[in-house]
Amino acid sequence: MAQNPTATASQAASPPDKGQSPGPATKTTAGAGRRNVDFSKPSLYQNREITWLRFNQRVLAMSRDNGTPLLERLKFIAIVSSNLDEFYMKRIGGLKQQDGAGYRELTVDGRSPREQIKMCREFITSLEIEIEESLGEILRLLPKYGVELCDYETLSDADKQTLRRYYLENIYPLITPQAVDPAHPFPFVSNLSLNLLVTLHHPDSEYSSLARVKVPVGAGTKRFIPIGDSRRFVRIEQIMAGNLDLLFPGMVIDHCEWFRVIRNASTERNEAAANDLLEMIVSELRERKFAPIVQLMVQKDMDPTRRGMLSAELGLNESQDVFETTGLIAKRDLFEISSLLIPRLRDAPHRPSDHFKLLDTRSIFHIIREHGDILLQHPYESFATSVLRFLEEASRDPKVRAIKMTLYRTGEASKIVDCLIEAARNGKQVAVAVELKARFDEATNIRWASHLEEAGVHVTYGVVGLKTHSKVVLVVRQDYNGIRRYVHIGTGNYHEGTAQLYCDLGLLTCNREIGNDITEFFNFLTTGYTPNRNYQKILPAPRIMKSLLINKIRREVKLHKAGEAGHIQLKCNALEDPDICKELYRASMAGVTVDLIIRDTCRIKVGIPGLSDNIRVVSIVGRFLEHSRIYYFRNGGGPNEEYYIGSADLMKRNLESRVEVLAPVDSEDLKQDLRMILNTYMNDRHGAWEMQSDCTYRSLREEGEKSSQEKFMEMAAKRYQAARKQNLRKLENLRKRNTQ
């Protein structure tokens, strides 16, 4: 028998049957004695930065899972290391800017920028120790399978000669040593670069000098160099250090030490004052290159004098901004090793199934007209044979008159962009709202915007002061009975690469009201004018989404007090907006059941007597990155239940300063699909972590249980196989009739 989705953590539950409703749930008793809560009290909220770091702690736990293949475990260490680099660039960089500017306003949890920086550094120091321990265990196990990360100094002379020859041919020509002396000031050190600080002297002199040598990783040069044709690897910086006689012939090498810097990525300007947004973004990218350094990482045994000199030259506070490590610097480069093609050390390849409704070879527009709405679940169902097919057919279909879409992130080689260019060349009206300020993808988006404009696509850069984060495509087609609008609304980017790694949802529809709304939405994007845009179905941000979500939460409270079992389920990446948090606390106090499936940042605290007794917070961590957003309100149950999917997280920036879209899912069949998805997440006993009253998370893993992600893979494959067999039976029956 299916389990209630609000089952406690201690209950072992299998996912309920498709479509099982969570209501009517048992009516929960409202909290007593907490009617006059001061919701401005800092102790009611978690710190945003720490909750995000705790998420990385959960990701790191995957690297210690003995049931996960070794190279996949190594991948999770690379992911966490990359995340921490980005955290320093974005979050610590921004906090340092606030602190330097004398910003005194406290966060909702009552902390100043300086206090947050201190908290984060302490947490990261502890996390780095966990990373080192986990990495050490993996590196001890890998040699059993022929993969080894070797220390250059321990190699045989023959191996050293092999690497020296490789170095001379492939690395040496790329290196530019830079002296540091009165005639040569300390050189510029680029962001995320790994460097050698070499101390050396002439044989006839007792005075030492310094040189900086940048390690040329990237643009085709690997960090880990194989010894011949083996799977034994040596770090490139060790090879360079072992062959410094080639760079500094005749000199005596006294010391060679490693260091790495991270620069601030928070360099955004006020775009309202910019005459040319494109030029402003290009200028921001130039500034980011020379932005202040927020972290210096050095090896543990670096000489204190040289460490102090390096800190001073880079303009850093040695006691606050310099970190030591005894292990590998820049662990994000471990992606190189984790991507080795050794099947027994990797997860079994995942091949997404075609959506069972899209196996038909007819025009995808005919299929959408026939089915009404189609719900897509990536990466379990193929992005290429659904979303990409939608755009490919639109670009070639002679009946398609126009294509409009938003573009937030896409790949270096994007078939999506190719479709838009082809559509423009085929004479269709194509309009694209490109978000130039998508962090770390600005250069890619600028390049694609230029290509699109050259092809005749009408390119806009969204609305001044707002990031366009929505994921929407509108296709206008001349059908047999007049103009019809076809729409895709998604939770993930139009990026073929991440569509294979991120868990996202999408809706294909030709619903007339949604089509009208999306038309108005694009008119807003291309003009910025907001008056008299009355949306019937979608919830756009920043205009109305937040207020309507708050109203829906309050409606659950009223219905619950009137005798209905109130139930709210929210799945998103982050819950940070203080106003939403307060409303959810109030709902819990009233007795409404609140289930939160929050991947990372969550300001809410559970288990506060009389306040959050009825709130459960779960985080799903697995092979794929959870990225979908689903908002459910029971609204009295039955046909009144409301489900929304879309691009918005419950963060202040998403709700108030980004262009977002949530779309309702009205089809009863698709509501059942979303119910199955939410129930499966809430009953996960493999990849789920549940927040505790002390704000830590406890794994809900039970031996032998499959994760929600594994179950979704199986469900998609079964739906595909069943539909395929049905289609084959139809073809066979048709063949028999034709031969009779």
Query: Which residues are known catalytic residues?
Result: 469
DSSP readout, 424-493?
A: HHTT-EEEEEE-TTSTT-HHHHHHHHHHHHHTT-EEE---TT-EE---EEEEEEEETTEEEEEEEEESS-
Euclidean distance between CA atoms 565 and 308, whole angstroms: 63
Euclidean distance between CA atoms 132 and 327, whole angstroms: 7
DSSP assignment letter at 186: P
Per DSSP, the three-state class of 55 is helix
Chain centroid offset of residue 35 CA: 38
| Residue 730 CB partners (closer than 8 Å, separation 6+) | none
Chain centroid offset of residue 426 CA: 35
Euclidean distance between CA atoms 652 and 631, whole angstroms: 17
Q: How far is CA 186 from CA 200, 211, 299, 302, in A?
A: 16, 9, 20, 18
Find, among 645, 644, 711, 721, the residue nearest to 676 by Cα.
Answer: 711
- The pair phi, psi for residue 485, each rounded to 5°, is -105, 130
Identify whether the C-beta of residue 635 lies closer than 8 Å to the C-beta of residue 642: yes
Identify whether the C-beta of residue 422 lies closer than 8 Å to the C-beta of residue 396: yes
Tell me which H or E stretch contains 365: helix 364-371
Task: Tell me the two tokens of residue 46.
Answer: 């978690």
Euclidean distance between CA atoms 566 and 549, whole angstroms: 15
